[in-house]
Amino acid sequence: MAVEILAKKKVLIIGATGGIGSEATRLIRKGQANVFITGRNEEKLKQTARDNDIPAEQAFLLDVTDAKAVQTLATTIYDRVGPLDILINAAGIGYLNPLENTGAEDFSKVIDVNLKGAFHLMRYFLPPMKEARKGLVINIPGVLGKAPMAGAAAYAASKYGLNGMVKSIREELKRTEVRITNLYLGGVDSDFWDNIDMRVNRDKFINAKEAGRAIWFLCQQPVSGVVSEMVIQPFNHQAI
Ligand SMILES: NC(=O)c1ccc[n+]([C@@H]2O[C@H](COP(=O)([O-])OP(=O)(O)OC[C@H]3O[C@@H](n4cnc5c(N)ncnc54)[C@H](OP(=O)(O)O)[C@@H]3O)[C@@H](O)[C@H]2O)c1
């Protein structure tokens, strides 16, 4: 069975500066794809571009909560290369706290980045793919996008929302060959956990390299079918 060849594919990785995004970037770039990346941290963004031999003009500072900036980026990339072949949304923030310690502002921030940010990305990058009737979109709702956990009221709200939003968008794309994959990862050892005040055993988590490899694998699946979801969890903590 022929697999998708990554060479020359136009791939945009949102959150390429993160633990999972940077590993996905490395592997996809190795496959000779034409890679565009975004991050918020300028130093990390430049470093990620340099490490992967990505031209500086294909690395963009982007805050996904800024709808206008997302729209501008979508136009900029479209004007340069046309519709994307692959869009990977690996941006997001972690927030785990008991309900009584979760302020309304904390809640809004998590929703703004993880859910509304993803909405802006889908809203502005998908129409050209829909018109071209082809492409692949990967989001990472994570296991907390379909299983509850104590302390995850805000985070799970954002990720269950992402799950529902993406599945609804999929219904609108059924007459095209735009494929949508939701990746449900359990705990991955990345900076995501640095500011989370919860006792976790990161040694037992999924390695960020393995998570990146899962994304790379998804990018190579034959177009005759669609991997609508993939679940990877730490062996010792299988929630779904
Ligand atoms: N780690 C886990 O256990 C785990 C499990 C399941 C799902 N996930 C999901 O996987 C995705 C990647 O997580 P990760 O582990 O790679 O986390 P990470 O290492 O903390 O990376 C997060 C990435 O998101 C970017 N980002 C954060 N806020 C942003 C904003 N407002 N606008 C644009 N970019 C923003 C960061 O950019 P800068 O670094 O440049 O600021 C970084 O590139 C997230 O959606 C997360 O929810 C993670």
pLDDT per residue rounded down to tens, the chain (240 residues): 566 789 999 999 999 999 999 999 999 999 999 999 999 999 999 999 999 999 999 999 999 999 999 999 999 999 999 999 999 999 999 999 999 999 999 999 999 999 999 999 999 999 999 999 999 999 999 999 999 999 999 999 999 999 999 999 999 999 999 999 999 999 999 999 999 998 899 999 999 999 999 999 999 999 999 999 999 999 999 999
**Residue 1 CA to ligand 1 centre (angstroms):** 34
pLDDT of residue 225: 93
Tell the residue nearest (CA) to atom 28 of ligand 1: 92
Per-residue tokens: 124: 């502005």
Which residue, judged by its Cα, is nearest atom 27 of ligand 1?
A: 92
Answer whether residue 239 is part of any domain. Answer: no
pLDDT score for 1 = 57
Q: In terms of residue numbers, what domain contains 189?
A: 10-232
Whichever domain contains 80, its CATH number is 3.40.50.720
The pocket around ligand 1, CB under 6 angstroms, is made up of: 15, 17-21, 39-41, 44, 62-65, 90-93, 113, 117, 140, 142, 185, 187-188, 190-192
Question: Is residue 216 one of the residues assigned to a domain?
Answer: yes
Query: Is residue 5 domain-resident?
Result: no
Tell me how many domains the chain contains: 1
Whether 72 maps to a domain, the answer reads yes
Q: Is residue 2 part of a domain?
A: no
Round to whole Å and give the CA distance between 98 and 174.
39
Distance 2 CA to ligand 1 centre (A): 32
pLDDT of residue 137: 98
Which residue's CA is the nearest one to ligand 1's atom 46? 92
Specify the pTM.
0.98
What's the CA-to-centroid distance between 208 and ligand 1, angstroms?
A: 11
Spacing, Cα 63 to ligand 1 middle (Å): 12
Which tokens belong to 232? 């990877």
Q: Is 137 helix (H, G, I), strand (E, B) or coil?
A: strand
140 CA to middle of ligand 1, Å?
10
In a domain, 1, yes or no: no
CB proximity list for 184: less than 8 A, separation 6 or greater: 140, 141, 142, 143, 145, 146, 229, 230, 231, 232, 233, 240
Domain assignment of residue 23, yes or no: yes
